[in-house]
A and B are shown apart, each in its own frame.
Chain A
Amino acid sequence: MLHKALWHLARTCLAVWALASVAFLLSYRSMSTDTEFALPDPADMVTTTTVAGRQAMLGAARHRLGLDLPLFYFGHMANSRTAWRWNGPHNQYHEWASRMLHGDFGTSFRTGRPVYYELGVALAFTLPLTGTAAVLAVFGALVLAQRLAARPWWHRAVRSLLIGLHALPLFVVALLLLLLLANPEVLAWFPAYGLNETAGDNVNIGNRLVSLAWHLALPTTALILSALPDLTLQLEANLMQEMGTEYATTARAKGLSEQRVIGDHALRNALLPSLAQIAQLLPALVAGAVVVEVVFALPGMGRLLAEAAANRDYPMLVGGVLLTGLARILALLLADLFYFWADPRIRWQF
């Protein structure tokens, strides 16, 4: 089991690194052309510059961005197509990789601040949001699936609702919440955007927390609604399967109520296949945050990524890909821990 978990982890790390590398290599191919556009247009310039001056400016810009080095360990020479040569470790990819391994994610093109600083500021906001949504979605799924498994009269309606909710894209759900519950034309129960951070420092901490919760209610609800159907439907299907087993029949024959058969006997076994979904949950919530934070204009990691994509801020995008991969790795670790807790057969192997 330990072997398998380690192998999973190593493979995920490798995949994340490969995806980030592909993103880096692709981005630096298009960056060379983007640098040309970044220079002032010769037709617009007030002071006349010679071609040589323009070339010097271009060269300086390329040197500053590290574009004058070759891209990869081997490649063509810059100007001739036929010559192929080994560039050695003095290349853009090598420098990028060693910087990454030292924790330096580069500088954002858009803001000029280090990427890890931007990501840190955004994460300080996004982690509470997605963390709350993840915990609430898991608890909601646990409660709802147990109720549904007892087959009350409303289970068909709720199941259909969950399937419909699962089908809709998250931005539609978030927009519907926004338009129905934060719209002065319909019901203005919640604020439509932002965090209202303009309130002075003299407001006490309790009021600030209440204000924060009030502003985050709709985004969190949207995230929960995106994660809940999948978790609930899977857990309910597992529970229904466990309810047909012989130990469940024995428990019923002892005279236990249906709720206690589900809660005390079937739940733990039904949870095992669902634990794999935990590994999907955290990255999915990061992807959800991209949409939700744009809809509700919140200053988090998702909006950072969306804006970086709209502005073609490559270092930020590569950093975002790496961070999402990190969420995936953390989720895998968490899922393995849960397996350890839930299944005594795994514990006995140590």
Chain B
Amino acid sequence: MAVLKSSFAWPQKAAIAWLCLLLLVAVLAPVLPLPYPPNVPDLTAVSEPPFGPSQHWLGTDSQGLDLLSQLLFGARTALMLTLPAALLANLAGALAGGAAGFWLNSSRIAVPYWLLVAASGWWWLDLPQAGGVLSMAALVSAFIISIAKWKHCPIPAWRLPLDALIMGMATSLDTIPRLVLVVAMAAITGVAIPGLLLLLGVTSWPYSARLVRAQMLRVRALPFVEAAHAAGVHPGRVWLWHALPHAMQPLRVAFPLSLAGLLGLESTLSFLGIGLPPNVASWGRLLAGIRDDSASWWTAFFPITSLTISILSLYLLSRQKPH
């Protein structure tokens, strides 16, 4: 691929064209004039080869499901699941990694905030005397603030080990391979599509968090960030508006890759029959049927081809070099 890339740009154009086609098909799948609806078996035409006399243009599988509509709706499922999950994972990773890299372990949070957060937690957990604890925390906070104002000294602050917390969470999630973790958690919680989406996002953020954190360590030492600090801009604003947009640059390459990884994971999950309900069309589920009927090559050929082309297109897209 790298060979082709260096002399031509056409593989990337082809990749973009394929991905756009996929997007279009996935969005328009319910309104396309398909001869057969998905998930409705046509028992008069079981395991019919493609381009045959009937209207099953790509043939049917061993249960009589029309391959073309299964493919199109499978693309829709893949897109609906992987695109939001990838966005979620990258956004969460960028925010967490960016915060960890910007503040490291040295950020200090004023004691009143700690008190109020602890008291809210107490209230949220329904521990006894929640109202009393909340008002107590508010009183103590007000007392600390007024003392600090009166003596003209800064409000006392405790350290928050943000970097250690976030990176510790990322390392913990990385100890178990993502597939095993997602399989176990999806089965244990018995999730539907929104839950699966959340699960994919939660298990995928560490990679982008590491990338953004590494870049943030470089960016936070650059002159323009120091200048913003010196100009008296609030640290939160410096982080969000000045440093983070630069620290997120690595995600431009990593986003298509994470999309490709999630596409593979989603099809693997539906191949194993975990997570998605059985009435949702997907490429992985289509491929799971091939074991019963290895003679009908078309049920494997079309999903494998579209999956392969999609993943390779995403890889090609991520290999663009900055000019």
Contacts and interface: CB of A to CB of B under 8 A. Distances in A.
Contact of A164 (B190, B273, B312): B312
A195 interface: no
A321 B184 CA distance: 7
A179 interface: yes
A308 B177 contact: no
Given A19-B172, A294-B272, A168 B308 contact: yes
A346 interface: no
B184 A291 contact: no
Interface stretch (A51-59, A127-135, A249-257, A309-317): A309-317
A325 to B, nearest CB: 6
A270 interface: no
Chain A at the B interface: mostly helix, strand, loop or mixed?
Answer: helix
- The interface size bin for chain A is 35 or more
Contacts, number: 147
A15 B188 contact: no
Interface stretch (B74-82, B138-146, B260-268): B260-268
Given A167-B311, A172-B308, A16 B184 contact: no
A21 to B, nearest CB: 11
Interface stretch (B21-29, B120-128, B232-240): B120-128
A324 B180 contact: yes
B297 interface: yes
Contact of A306 (B126, B183, B284): B183
Chain B at the A interface: mostly helix, strand, loop or mixed?
Answer: helix
Nearest to A284: B177
A286 interface: yes
A321 B181 contact: yes
A179 B300 contact: yes
B228 interface: no
A290 B186 CA distance: 15
A157 to B, nearest CB: 8
Contact of B187 (A76, A184, A287, A317): A317
Interface string A285-296: 011001100110
Interface string B209-220: 000000000000
A185 interface: yes
B105 interface: no
Interface of B: 1-3, 125-128, 168, 171-173, 175-181, 183-190, 260, 264-265, 267-268, 271-274, 284, 287, 290-291, 294-295, 297, 300, 304, 307-308, 311-312, 315
- Closest 9 pairs between A and B when the two form their complex, measured CB to CB: A169-B264, A309-B187, A15-B172, A287-B177, A287-B179, A15-B175, A27-B188, A317-B184, A283-B177
14 contacts: A15-B175, A84-B125, A84-B128, A168-B264, A179-B297, A283-B176, A286-B180, A290-B179, A290-B180, A309-B272, A310-B273, A312-B190, A320-B180, A328-B176
